[in-house]
Amino acid sequence: MKHQSPKRIIIVEDDNIIRNAFVTLIQQSGDYTVANAYSNAEAAIKNVKDDAPDICLMDIELPGMNGIEAIPKIKVLSPNTQVVVVTVYENDDLVFKALCEGASGYLTKNMPPQKLIDSLKELENGGAPMSTNIARMVVSSFHKNRQSPLTARELEVLELLSSGKSYSTIADQLFVDKETVKSHIKNIYLKLEVHSKAEAIEKAKKSKYI
Amino acid sequence: MKHQSPKRIIIVEDDNIIRNAFVTLIQQSGDYTVANAYSNAEAAIKNVKDDAPDICLMDIELPGMNGIEAIPKIKVLSPNTQVVVVTVYENDDLVFKALCEGASGYLTKNMPPQKLIDSLKELENGGAPMSTNIARMVVSSFHKNRQSPLTARELEVLELLSSGKSYSTIADQLFVDKETVKSHIKNIYLKLEVHSKAEAIEKAKKSKYI
DNA sequence: GAATGCTCACCCTTTTTGGGGGTAAATTAA
DNA sequence: TTAATTTACCCCCAAAAAGGGTGAGCATTC
């Protein structure tokens, strides 16, 4: 088998001390080479085709374009690059935005140095490295709220309603009359204290009933 | 500081050899105590209030009730118990079902033994232990498909449509005329080759455009 | 400078839908 | 034996959705 050349990494991080620490840490590991290190996203994007990185470590708060916006731009120019966010922010919103934009991992800067190298290995193995809290946030985002005021049938109806189906389609799918669906929806509105489909869906999603 | 009593664990696994291996492994770690070990979900559910486990290791394929169905029953009877699925299955459907039902982690049986103990520690630290492939599946589930035939504006409209909003509400939110929204939706239907809201939403979600 | 694609906006029509108000039987669970 | 759930029906009517077509303004691309 042919020898694998060491994985190429770029770093986007505006703090000089942290950036240099990452460079040193990664170079010393021996298994990776730092193709380039940037203090802003624009420069990284401009050079990403030449750098041809396997992995990009991306900070979020950066001068100019922020790290979240930078992710899709990197991915378009270099689709095989895996972007891992490395930041101090553990805010739900930022985490899910980063993942939606295409991040393959999300690390917080308070991790021990060895964890960074472990994470790179995890990426190579087809994983998605995440800090402890981030993994929990991600998994929790799937959990449903079981204290729902709605009955099982009502939840079924609301689920279908939230997928854009009409009353009659829902009725067909549940093998009941359209008027029955209407009754369920009336009860859903009563319980959720709303007066329209959109409000019901919004409230149910926010409360994680569906 | 007061001494913490060792975390209590129950195991639900129908294969005697594997179950006993887990028991031995966990007992030997010293940091955990096996409160009970069951070969089926029904028995585990019956005793979960008495066992009062901090953690439940749950297999999926079991005689009688399967592990996925068992998760919510365990969580209702003992809300502070963290359920971790331990299985051979890496199927997307099962993973997401397990997480939706309330699993706090998902491990595959091909892991090295030490990984199980590490995972228990990870749980204690507020994490969500996952095998490499599972973590990638979970993170990938957030990624959007960037080869969408829809324009940015059309995606915006479709996103709002999929949240149950009416044409006029969408129009207000985007500061355009209702007729403009209609035009966009007509184009969306054309491009996606559908003839209704529900079909458009279904196709867009399936293709991960939204 | 012609062509294309995108965003925006208006017109017409039709059927369907959604939401409000009631009522009530059968089943199931507490 | 109450209470809750699921089912189903009636009325009404405004609003919404979907189909059709047209076209201006703008940016990009060829």
Indicate the SS3 state at residue B204: helix
Question: Domain boundary residue among B140, B169, B197?
Answer: B140
How close does chain A come to B167, measured CA to CA in Å? 12
Residue B117 and residue B18 share a domain: yes
Would you state the pLDDT for residue B1? 52
| Sequence-separated contacts (24+) of A148-153 with Cβ below 8 Å | A148/A207, A148/A209, A149/A191, A149/A192, A150/A188, A150/A191, A150/A192, A150/A204, A150/A209, A153/A184
Residue A161 and residue A115 share a domain: no
Q: Which helix (H) or strand (E) holds B188?
A: helix B178-192
> Residues A55, A81: contact at Cβ < 8 Å?
yes
Q: Which of residues 167-186 of B touch strand C (CB under 7 A)?
A: 174, 176-177, 179-180, 182-184
Nearest-angstrom CA–CA distance, A94 and A109 = 15
Residue B192 lies in a domain: yes
For strand C, which nucleotides have at least one atom less than 7 Å from a protein CB? 5-11, 16-24
Residue B135 and residue B114 share a domain: yes
Testing the interface with A: which of B94, B100, B139 to mutate, by most A Cβ within 10 A?
Answer: B139
Testing the interface with B: which of A84, A94, A132 to mutate, by most B Cβ within 10 A?
Answer: A132
Question: Domain boundary residue among B84, B116, B140?
Answer: B140
> Residues A131, A154: contact at Cβ < 8 Å?
no
Residue A1 lies in a domain: no
Q: What is the pTM of this model?
A: 0.92
**Facing residues of B12 across strands?**
B38, B58
Residue A20 and residue A116 share a domain: yes
Residue B147 lies in a domain: no
Q: Is the pLDDT of residue B137 over 80?
A: yes
Would you state the pLDDT for residue A42? 93
Residue range B106-122, pLDDT digits in tens: 999 999 999 999 999 99
Residue A172 and residue A79 share a domain: no
> Residues A164, B197: contact at Cβ < 8 Å?
yes
> Residues A24, A71: contact at Cβ < 8 Å?
no
Nearest-angstrom CA–CA distance, A203 and B4 = 40
Residue B173 and residue B101 share a domain: no
If we measure between CA atoms, which residue out of B101, B113, B159, B109 comes closest to residue B134? B109
Mean pLDDT of chain B: 95
Nearest-angstrom CA–CA distance, B68 and A100 = 27
Q: Name the domain count of chain B.
A: 2
Q: Determine whether the distance from the CB of B165 to the nearest atom of strand C is below 7 Å.
A: no
If we measure between CA atoms, which residue out of A6, A99, A208, A81 comes closest to residue B135? A99
Residue A197 and residue A109 share a domain: no
Q: How many other β-carbons are positioned within 10 Å of the β-carbon of residue A107?
A: 18
Give me the tens of pLDDT residue by residue for chain A, a chain 210 residues long.
545 778 999 999 999 999 999 999 999 998 999 999 999 999 999 999 999 999 999 999 999 899 999 999 999 999 999 999 999 999 999 999 999 999 999 999 999 999 999 999 999 999 999 999 999 999 999 999 988 999 999 999 999 999 999 999 999 999 999 999 999 999 999 999 999 999 999 999 999 999
Residue B122 and residue B23 share a domain: yes
Find the length of chain B. Answer: 210
Residue A160 and residue A102 share a domain: no
Across the interface, do A133 and B127 touch by the CB < 8 Å criterion? Answer: yes
Q: How far is the CA of A181 from the C1' of D22 (A)?
A: 40
Residue A157 and residue A125 share a domain: no
Nearest to A164 among B75, B133, B201 (CB): B201
The pair of three-digit structure tokens given for residue B84, joined into one six-digit string: 């971790």
Segments forming the whole domain that contains residue A107: 7-140
The pair of three-digit structure tokens given for residue B140, joined into one six-digit string: 């990938």
Residues whose CB is below 7 A of strand D: A 151-154, 174, 176-177, 179-180, 182-184, 187; B 166-169, 182-183, 185-186, 189, 195-198
Which residue is nearest nucleotide C17, judged by alpha carbon to C1' distance? Answer: A166
The pair of three-digit structure tokens given for residue B50, joined into one six-digit string: 């008495």
Q: How far is the CA of A59 from the C1' of D29 (A)?
A: 36
Q: Determine whether the distance from the CB of A80 to the nearest atom of strand C is below 7 Å.
A: no
Nearest to B127 among A125, A126, A136 (CB): A136
What's the rounded mean pLDDT across residues B142-153? 94
CATH number at B97 reads 3.40.50.2300
Across the interface, do B128 and A143 touch by the CB < 8 Å criterion? Answer: no
Residue range B48-102, pLDDT digits in tens: 999 999 999 999 999 989 999 999 999 999 999 999 999 999 999 999 999 999 9
Residues of A within 8 A of B96 (CB-CB) are: 142
